[in-house]
């Protein structure tokens, strides 16, 4: 790892001030992606600004209609929260499938979404449940948030403070984990949300996306059979030694079918 | 360089470290607590697992400065008054050690698993162990040791 300066931020404003004052600063959340990347010298920020000391960014709030999760809340906290288990069990399940226990103890929802790894699990939840990303500047709808490979709508000087999920009538997440890393080769969140049925996919493309054909079919009739015959085109999907684009496209249908079957 | 202070195995320690010093490097090289192993260095194998404020974490993917003020327990901190921790005793009893390289991380992860799942069955233990790799592929006895530890 190359040398860098380390700063602990006391507030969101303080973090942004420190980031602005750094030559090539990076925000450090749980560090479960950033630190391995730095160890491999694929990233060499001049400064790290650690958000761990900002109490405002932690915690889970549930009201009648929404679950709001602070950006620095860990995967383990989301998974083990009784309130999340009751309001959105699919979200708790998804958090429990990320990485391994030690990674879940440190990795955070805000870090995962800011990074927008194409194989991360949370993007499927944000997309599938129709969540809203709250930043220090504005609120971004899930549909407008993911822009491409490791690319989001976040601008310079913009920091995720919380993510707000509308409580769905029913939802399920099914994931096909890459056997070694446990990242999602493909993960699909199927949900009946207050604004209609949504299907959010991670792992298959450069970033999370919805499948409108499946949403239409599930709206007409909510059953696994409704999505069984729907295949998505493999053009532009991810391909690596673990699976071709065609294979991933096929997995989207299989995972959507399994997710729908769980809650139909 | 910056000063970092924490409690390791019940003892207050502090040192001047570079920000890039990993927690595992601090434990091994500054404190000479070499029971915590580096296996993969890529956050996969879990040989570096320690407890930070009571939770299992990979000390190869944490900066020492991130543990400022924390309460850290390593494998060296488990035995009390010459008596093995029940999880260590169970590893001995069920021959969960094999070559021993992954063992410290397995023991630390095992304690964490039983803390969160006091009555963990085999399926739970196997799922929970996915962040710890044993290259002897000797999981059978490790799983047995974790399930049957009298913690």
CB contact under 8 A, B56 and A102: yes
pLDDT surpasses 90 at A120? yes
Q: Which of A100, A175, A178 to mutate to test the interface with B (most CBs of B within 10 A)?
A: A100
- The tens digit of pLDDT for each residue in A126-152 reads 999 999 999 999 999 999 999 999 999
Q: What 8-state DSSP symbol labels residue A191?
A: E
How far apart, in whole angstroms, are the C-alpha atoms of residue A227 and residue A212?
11
Beta strands at A160-166 and A66-70: parallel, antiparallel or unpaired: antiparallel
Q: Report the pLDDT value the prediction gives residue A235, as an integer from 0 to 100.
A: 97
Burial of B89 (0-12, 13-18, 19+ CB in 10 A): middle
Rounded to a whole number, what is the distance in Å from the CA of A180 to chain B's nearest CA? 9
Rounded to a whole number, what is the distance in Å from the CA of B13 to chain A's nearest CA? 20
Per-residue pLDDT of chain B (151 residues; tens, 9 = 90+): 789 999 999 999 999 999 999 999 999 999 999 999 999 988 999 999 999 999 999 999 999 999 999 999 999 999 999 999 999 999 999 999 989 999 999 999 999 999 999 999 999 999 999 999 999 888 999 999 999 999 9
pLDDT surpasses 90 at A252? yes
Question: In this complex, how many residue pairs, one in chain A and one in chain B, have their CB atoms less than 8 Å apart?
Answer: 72
**Nearest residue on chain B to A32, judged by CA atoms?**
B61
pTM: 0.96
SS3 content of chain A, % helix, strand, coil (to 5): 35, 25, 35
List the single residue in A50, A103, A105 with the smallest CB-CB distance to B43. A103
Q: Report the pLDDT value the prediction gives residue B41, as an integer from 0 to 100.
A: 84
> Which of 103-122 (B) contact A at CB < 8 A?
109, 112-113, 116
Give the residue from A37, B70, A30, A12 showing the smallest Cα distance to A4. A37
Q: Which residues contact A115 (CB under 8 A, 6 or more apart)?
A: A33, A34, A150
Tokens of A19: 């980031």
Rounded to a whole number, what is the distance in Å from the CA of B77 to chain A's nearest CA? 19
List the single residue in B44, B66, B112 with the smallest CB-CB distance to A52. B66
CB contact under 8 A, A105 and B57: yes
- The tens digit of pLDDT for each residue in A72-118 reads 999 999 999 999 999 999 999 999 999 999 999 999 999 999 999 99
B44: chain A residues, CB-CB within 8 Å = 180-181
CB contact under 8 A, A4 and B19: yes
Q: What 8-state DSSP symbol labels residue A155?
A: P
List the single residue in A35, A105, A182 with the smallest CB-CB distance to B55. A105
Contact of B46 with chain A, judged by CB distance below 8 Å, is answered with yes
Query: What value does the mean pLDDT take over residues A155-160?
Result: 95
How far apart, in whole angstroms, are the C-alpha atoms of residue A8 and residue A15?
8
**Nearest residue on chain B to A2, judged by CA atoms?**
B20
Contact of B5 with chain A, judged by CB distance below 8 Å, is answered with no
A79 phi, psi to nearest 5 deg = -65, -40
CB contact under 8 A, B131 and A3: no
């Amino acid at each position: 790892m190359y040398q860098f300066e380390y700063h602990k931020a006391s507030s969101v404003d303080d973090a942004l001030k420190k980031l602005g004052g750094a030559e090539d600063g990076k925000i450090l959340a749980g560090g479960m992606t950033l630190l391995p990347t730095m160890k491999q010298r694929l990233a060499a920020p001049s400064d790290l600004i650690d958000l761990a000391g900002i109490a405002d960014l932690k915690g889970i709030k549930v009201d009648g209609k929404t679950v709001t999760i602070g950006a620095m809340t860990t995967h383990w906290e989301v998974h083990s929260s009784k309130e999340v288990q009751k309001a959105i069990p699919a979200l708790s399940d998804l958090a429990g499938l990320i990485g391994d226990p030690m990674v879940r103890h440190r990795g955070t929802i805000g870090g995962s979404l800011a990074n927008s790894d194409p194989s991360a699990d949370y993007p499927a939840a944000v997309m599938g449940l129709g969540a809203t990303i709250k930043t220090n500047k504005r609120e971004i709808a899930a549909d407008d948030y993911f822009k491409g490979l490791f690319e989001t709508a976040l601008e310079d000087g913009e920091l995720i403070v919380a993510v707000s999920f509308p409580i769905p009538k029913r939802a399920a997440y099914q994931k096909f984990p890459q056997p070694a890393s446990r990242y999602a080769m493909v993960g699909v969140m199927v949900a009946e949300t207050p604004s209609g049925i949504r299907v959010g996919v991670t792992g298959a493309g450069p970033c999370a996306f919805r499948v409108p054909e499946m949403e239409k079919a599930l709206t007409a009739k909510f059953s696994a059979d409704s999505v069984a015959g729907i295949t998505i085109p493999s053009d532009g999907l991810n391909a690596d030694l673990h699976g071709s684009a065609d294979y991933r496209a096929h997995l989207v249908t299989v995972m959507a079918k399994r997710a729908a079957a769980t809650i139909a | 360089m910056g000063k970092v202070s924490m409690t390791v195995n019940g003892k207050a320690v502090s040192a001047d470290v570079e920000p890039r010093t990993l927690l595992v490097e601090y434990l091994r090289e500054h404190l000479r607590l070499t029971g915590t192993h580096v296996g993969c260095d890529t956050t996969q194998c879990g040989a570096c697992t320690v407890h930070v404020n009571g939770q299992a974490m990979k000390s190869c993917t944490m900066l020492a400065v991130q543990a400022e003020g924390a309460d850290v327990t390593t494998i060296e901190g488990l035995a009390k008054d010459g008596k093995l921790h029940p999880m260590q005793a169970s590893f001995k009893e069920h021959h969960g050690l094999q070559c021993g390289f992954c063992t410290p991380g397995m023991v630390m992860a095992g304690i964490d698993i039983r803390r969160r799942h006091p009555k963990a069955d085999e399926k739970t233990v196997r799922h929970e162990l996915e962040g710890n790799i044993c290259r002897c592929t000797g999981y059978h006895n490790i799983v047995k040791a974790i399930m049957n530890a009298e913690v």
